[in-house]
Chains A and B, each alone.
Chain A
Amino acid sequence: MREIYLDNSATTRCFPQVAELMNKIYLEEYGNPSSMHHKGVQAEKQVREAGRILAGILKVKPENLVYTSCGTEGDNLAIIGCAMANQRRGMHLVTTPIEHPAVLETMRFLESRGFEVTTLPVDSEGLVDPADVAAAVREDTILVSVMHTNNEIGTVQPVAEIGEAIKKKNPGTLFHVDAVQGFGKARIYPARMKIDLLTVSGHKIHGPKGVGFLYVGDRVRIQNILFGGGQQRGLRSGTENVAGTAGMALAAKILYEGFDRDTERLYGLREDFIARITKIPEVWINGRKGREGAPHIISVTVPGVRAEVLLHALEDKGIYVSAGSACASNRPHVSSTLSAIGLGKDGLDSTIRISMSVMTTKEDMEDTAAAMEELIPFLRRYTRH
């Protein structure tokens, strides 16, 4: 059976070139960048090359990048690090209800430590209004955290406008963007967009698991949350993940080299798929349908079919999708994004997420649409009473 992997927002398959590069580093250039000898220099070179590539993509300096172990660590470092470094200036933070748990739970932790958190409203497509952001920012607001691309429905926030609105109201307020789903799928220039902190993860862009980075703008002060050998200018102690960092950078390089062509192709696949799938009675798409949304995420609600059942039925045909957000699938509590955009209980139980990548083919999407056309009417015959 052919495997059709459409859960790329959960994680992606590594590019073969990335795996090869990492293999070489693990077996040959395995030194510790902090070592004085040749092996150390060799490893350090890999990390520096990675920094050059990633900084080039974001149009920032390599010194602005702090390598982490994952998106969750990046979000934690950005938010807790900012709160600890700036709490004398203020104790107020602003976020949205559709953030990843790595942001929401960190905010909740800060609330328990006496910080105040304002949660902005979103509209039925999951969009944040820059005017609402401006209204929420106060003199004592130290951080605004808004994600770039939503992991469940693919809504892309107007981050440049939000950045503008924040700085106009309070130039001292820092702006954090969780770009774990957006990096690789959109062009993001933190300096131009007035972003101070930007979180990225390696395994969502065909790089390895266990690595990510946080962009920290010039003159942005954050407190490190790991203590130790003082690597990465003290911001992130711990031996650098050399192979992972190099692999992540190579993956990003490959993605951005084909960026225009791939983005166009993915939007085409998405539009065709949506046009076909919404012909099935009572099936609808969450989030934005056109080119304002992310090119790779499709959130489909199929009333009358439980998402988990549809997921396993598709799995039987070799097609892998996720129910709601995979990050929350072991805790079947209600998805925060889907309920924030106003989906009722039935909708929440009946929503699957299809997430493509540059590896997704036209045939993959046609086979998936055909499978859904066949399965949905069948599954609707058997329901719980």
Chain B
Amino acid sequence: MKYQAFLIKYAEIGTKGKNRHVFEEALCSQIRLALKSVDGKFSVNRIYGRIFIDCRSDYDYDDAVEKLRCVFGICGICPVQIREIMPIEELKEAVVRFMEEEYPQGEHTFKVHTKRPNKTYPMDSLEVNAELGHAILEAMPRFSVDVHDPEIMMNVEIREKMFFYSHEIPGPGGLPCGIGGKTMLLLSGGIDSPVAGYMIGKRGVKLDAVYYNAPPYTSERALQKVKDLASLVARYTGPIYLHNINFTEIQLYIYEQCPHDELTIIMRRYMMRIAEMLAKRNGCLGLVTGESIGQVASQTLAALNVTNEVCTLPVFRPVIGMDKEEIVSISKKIGTFETSILPYEDCCTIFVAKHPVTKPKAEVIRDHEKNLSEKIDEMVRRALETDEIILVDAQGDRIVKGREDPLED
């Protein structure tokens, strides 16, 4: 076992004043959750004003790091070597060996940074710095000292034991999951909505998600793809309740009653309305979409205004100002891209008009929606009744509530 502990660095939590312990506790429990599936015993504690993960047994280092890199709130992961207190001569040897193992090749600049809260140690931190710096320079000629901007910060902490650490693995940043409340993500099978979910999740917000399926126009495989995407996002955001809503009837009714070039925009208004009803029913304080200005006809500023006006909850669009390529690069980073590009039809594309409106006017759309007044409320109610709730986590999915059991309001 090369490292006996991890020191977890977090950025923003540190600025949270009196709430700080709430944030730290939330982060600790997220870390414990993330490490649950890793081989090994860990204990996660707030100690010395930081979060410290003690590895209490042999453990799978790579897996542990991979899981920690998904925990929002962590901005850096430092693998730590823990040693018994030792006199300076032995300490010099131990630190040189540690550096050699950490950096077997290359020329680097470095600085030794010692902390000595344990005042029984006979040298002060500046003296230790000097001794260790010399020892490293002597043993490793390819290293040189740079006290202002070193490539390597060799940290030595002298407490009841000695702690060595030097490199920091970047974490995802953000805030720990769940401290920011809950939102409802409109999840399609595309590239953008999983990224949008990830980005909102990163701000400590939990996700519920809604997916509109339209059998026979969309298939069971399309639903499986959405579950797979939710499962990938859940590695970061924690378990997601996915609401699977049957949208066929509404879609066909709009098709019959409204101008075809307005089909998508009217359909999206109903998707937002239903999402909002589900959101309110489930205690979500906002909606999240993967819209980006101008990407498609229904995402022009005019179209966004028209779809937005049906909602009273705030609608968050974290990728609104991003180019497709930027969104793609995030989706590759978080591992959803390969699944997103699987070729299954989703309900947004099945009846898309050749030339959909790009500058819809709210009055006109509202007027045309009146054509739906006869049956639409009943259809929306029925659609809500089809709500199939699927609990999706990083390991997979299971149905929490089947279709045959309509939700009570």
Contacts and interface: CB of A to CB of B under 8 A. Distances in A.
Contact of B354 (A313, A315, A385): A385
Taking each of B219, B256, B352, B354, which has the highest tally of chain A beta carbons within 10 Å of its own beta carbon?
B219
Contact of B260 (A309, A311, A312, A385): A385
A311 B350 contact: no
B215 A316 contact: yes
B103 interface: no
Contact of B352 (A308, A312, A332, A384): A384
B252 interface: yes
B89 to A, nearest CB: 60
Contacts of B343: 332
Given A308-B345, A332-B343, A384 B216 contact: no
A312 B351 contact: no
Contacts of A309: 216-217, 350
B252 A313 contact: no
Contacts of B255: 382
Contacts of A382: 252, 255, 351
A235 to B, nearest CB: 38
B215 A312 contact: yes
A310 B352 CA distance: 18
B350 to A, nearest CB: 7
A315 B256 CA distance: 24
Interface string A355-385: 0000000000000000000000000011111
B330 to A, nearest CB: 27
B353 interface: yes
Classify the secondary structure of A's interface with B.
helix
B217 A312 contact: yes
Contacts, number: 30
Nearest to A312: B216
Contacts of B354: 385
Interface in B257-276: 260
A383 B350 CA distance: 8
Contacts of A384: 350-352
Contacts of A312: 215-219
A316 B260 CA distance: 27
Interface in B35-55: none
Interface string A292-333: 000000000000000011111111100000000000000010
| Contact-size category for B | 10 to 19
A55 B345 CA distance: 47
Interface string B332-347: 0000000000010100
Contacts of B256: 381
A319 to B, nearest CB: 11
Contact of A313 (B216, B260, B345, B352): B216
A100 to B, nearest CB: 22
Nearest to A333: B343
A167 B215 CA distance: 53
A21 B256 CA distance: 56
Nearest to A332: B343
Given A332-B343, A382-B252, A315 B216 contact: yes
Given A332-B343, A382-B252, A385-B260, A316 B216 contact: yes
Taking each of A313, A315, A332, A384, which has the highest tally of chain B beta carbons within 10 Å of its own beta carbon?
A384
Contacts of B252: 382
Contacts of A316: 215-216
A138 B200 CA distance: 67
Interface in B235-257: 252, 255-256
B216 A311 contact: yes
A385 B256 CA distance: 13
A53 B354 CA distance: 59
Interface string B192-216: 0000000000000000000000011
A235 B353 CA distance: 57
Taking each of B216, B217, B255, B350, which has the highest tally of chain A beta carbons within 10 Å of its own beta carbon?
B216
Contacts of A383: 351
Interface in B343-365: 343, 345, 350-354
Contacts of B351: 382-385
Interface in A53-109: none
A352 to B, nearest CB: 12
A332 B221 CA distance: 14
A381 B251 CA distance: 13
A381 B353 CA distance: 15
B219 A308 contact: yes
B253 to A, nearest CB: 11
Contacts of A310: 216
Contacts of A385: 260, 351, 353-354
A7 to B, nearest CB: 14
A314 B343 CA distance: 21
Given A309-B216, A312-B216, A312-B219, 10 more contacts: A308-B345, A310-B216, A311-B216, A312-B217, A313-B216, A314-B216, A315-B216, A332-B343, A382-B351, A385-B260
Considering the complex of A and B, which 5 residue pairs feature the smallest CB-CB distances, nearest first? A312-B216, A313-B216, A385-B353, A309-B216, A385-B354
29 contacts: A308-B219, A308-B345, A309-B216, A309-B217, A309-B350, A310-B216, A311-B216, A312-B215, A312-B216, A312-B217, A312-B218, A312-B219, A313-B216, A314-B216, A315-B216, A316-B215, A316-B216, A332-B343, A381-B256, A382-B252, A382-B255, A382-B351, A383-B351, A384-B350, A384-B352, A385-B260, A385-B351, A385-B353, A385-B354
